[in-house]
């Protein structure tokens, strides 16, 4: 998806920055406005985050609405929901963060989940960074309880995994 969006904005780097912020945050465009679910987000707020003029955000919205493919994407995109990544420690949940060599390699999530399941550890949430949006994407698994340190070696044996951190 990202490659298709980036191609549409290749001649407009500032608009591309706006589009990236919209996608990264799951913000959609309805009736010429930006929304997070049902909450309208002022263009000024987006322009500040993207470090562009407010008019650039307005032009990005117009460009998106005029392109059939972009219009479908940005009309239907939604936020992924509440992430427990930053508050897991405060909730006494276990967190394993897995860095990979190739984020598009199949089976990393499945094998990681299998290793935790074999230890009787239930996963509350799995967060996978999009390799097209994040320079160093990671797989983060948030579990019902602390994850034992001896699982690091098992997780490191998964093909494509380069680093494992437990929190």
**pLDDT of amino acid 131:** 85
* Beta strands across the sheet bearing 39-41: 28-30, 33-36, 39-41
Q: Which pLDDT score is estimated for 118?
A: 97
Residue where the block lists tokens 């001896």: 150
Expressed in angstroms, the distance from the first to the final Cα of the chain is 32
Neighbours of 115 (CB within 10 A): 18
Tokens 């407009």 sit on residue: 12
Query: What are the CA-CA distances from residue 36 to residues 3, 28, 77, 153 (Å)?
Result: 23, 7, 9, 40
pLDDT at site 113: 98
Per-residue pLDDT of the chain (167 residues; tens, 9 = 90+): 788 899 999 999 999 999 999 999 999 999 999 999 999 999 999 999 999 999 999 999 999 999 999 999 999 999 988 899 999 989 999 999 999 998 888 999 999 999 999 999 999 999 998 888 888 999 999 999 999 999 999 999 999 999 999 98
Token couple for 64: 């998106």
Please tell me the predicted confidence (pLDDT) of residue 130. Answer: 86
Give, in words, the CATH class of 89-166.
alpha beta
- What is the residue-wise DSSP string for 98-142? EEES-TT-TTHHHHHHHHHHHTTPPEEEEEE--TTT-SS-EEEEE
Query: Apex CA 63: angle with CA 57 and CA 69, to 5°?
Result: 125
């Amino acid at each position: 998806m990202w490659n298709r969006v980036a191609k549409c904005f290749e001649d407009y780097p500032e608009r591309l920055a706006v589009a990236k912020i919209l996608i990264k945050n799951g913000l959609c465009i309805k009736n010429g406005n930006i929304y997070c679910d049902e909450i309208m987000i002022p263009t000024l707020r987006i322009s500040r985050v993207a470090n562009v003029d407010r008019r650039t955000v307005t032009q990005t919205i117009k460009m998106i609405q005029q392109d059939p493919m972009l219009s479908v994407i940005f009309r239907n995109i939604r936020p992924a929901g509440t992430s427990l990544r930053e508050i897991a420690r405060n909730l006494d949940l276990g967190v394993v963060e897995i860095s990979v060599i190739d984020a598009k390699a199949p089976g990393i999530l499945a094998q990681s989940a299998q290793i935790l399941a074999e230890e009787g550890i239930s996963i509350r949430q799995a967060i996978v960074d999009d390799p097209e949006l994040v320079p160093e994407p990671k797989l983060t698994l948030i579990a019902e309880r602390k994850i034992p340190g001896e699982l690091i070696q098992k997780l490191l044996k998964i093909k494509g995994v380069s680093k494992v951190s437990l929190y």
